[in-house]
Amino acid sequence: AMLLFFTAMSALSFSGLYKHRLQSFTRVWWGWLFATGVVLGLVASSKWVGFFSVGLVGLYTVWELYDIFGQSRTRIRSYALHWSARIVALAVVLLAIYMLCFRIHFRLLYKSGPGDVPMDSLFQAGLQGTGLANQPMDNSYGSVITLKSAVPGVGLLHSHANTYPDGSKQQQVTGYTHADQNNNWVVEIMHSQARGNTSETLEFERNGNIVRLVHAGTNRNLHSHAIAAILNFLFFAPFTFGFDYPAEELANRKWLLSWNV
């Protein structure tokens, strides 16, 4: 609703500016110019699709400045003032309102909730009530973890009991942008490999270790082999396969731990 309202207001202010385009530097012209900048800042803050309105006004502004430059009566000082007025009203004011809206947003919404899952871990750690602040810095074998994609918007590594309709026909593995128990994975040693410590002590994971990732909800291993993904044939499809025992494709469930120190 806000996006539609501010989009309509941007069209209104833009039409007012266009109507008074021949009355440059008058009070009514200044009013419509700054009104356009304010509304564009609000529509851009509502949703990024609002930048289409910003682009429309920007294209018109470029055309108008080009037209003014070609007029014989235009003076250098007057032309520079045209540029300055539009930079202040349509760029500085827009960016100031955009940043102010985010400032207000973070002042009001400072607590952790289900909507912060797509955000990066450092951002979530700064929210009040988040569980990340109580998490250990190091993981040991047997730890229940969640894995987040480095690509924004992809979310957390997720699996559930549903199977792929084609290809491997095994249990689906996807990216999920909401908090869910099916995002949990257990880090385990490889089959037939003994842990170095006793059951009373913890054995921590190290850079370069080869591990298994077992889905906590279904107890199935994260697996991949040369079967094309359903949505993009350029990539292999990940899925979960087999329960906690050795299988003929043991090598395809080995995962290398690698991180930058």
Tens digits of residue pLDDT in 1-16: 889 999 999 999 999 9
Cα 94 from Cα 67, distance rounded (Å) = 24
Q: CA 49, CA 71: separation in Å to the nearest integer?
A: 35
In this predicted structure, what is the pLDDT of residue 20?
93
Burial class (CB in 10 A: 0-12, 13-18, 19+), 203: middle
For the four alpha carbons of 129, 133, 135 and 139, in that order, the dihedral sign comes to: positive
As a whole number of angstroms, the distance between CA 256 and CA 212 comes to 9
For the record, the structure tokens of 161 come out as 């009991």
Q: Reduced to 3 states, what is the DSSP secondary structure of residue 204?
A: strand
CA separation for the pair 82, 24 (Å, rounded): 8
More confident residue, 143 or 130: 143
Name 163's bridge partners: 171
pTM to 2 decimals?
0.59
Q: How many CB atoms lie within 10 A of CB 154?
A: 14
Using CB atoms within 10 Å of the CB of residue 200, give its burial: 0 to 12 exposed, 13 to 18 middle, 19+ buried.
exposed
Type of residue numbered 259: W
The string of pLDDT tens digits covering residues 179-217 is 788 999 998 887 655 555 545 566 777 777 888 888 988
Q: Between 221 and 118, whose confidence is greater?
A: 221
pLDDT in tens, 98-126: 999 989 988 888 888 777 777 777 777 77
How many angstroms separate the CA atoms of 94 and 37, rounded?
A: 5
- Nearest 5 degrees, angle CA 253-CA 213-CA 121? 130
The answer to whether 183 and 158 have CB atoms below 8 angstroms apart is: yes
- pLDDT at residue 246 greater than cutoff 70: no
pLDDT in tens, 67-92: 999 888 888 999 999 999 999 999 99
- Contact yes or no for 80/88 (Cβ under 8 A): no
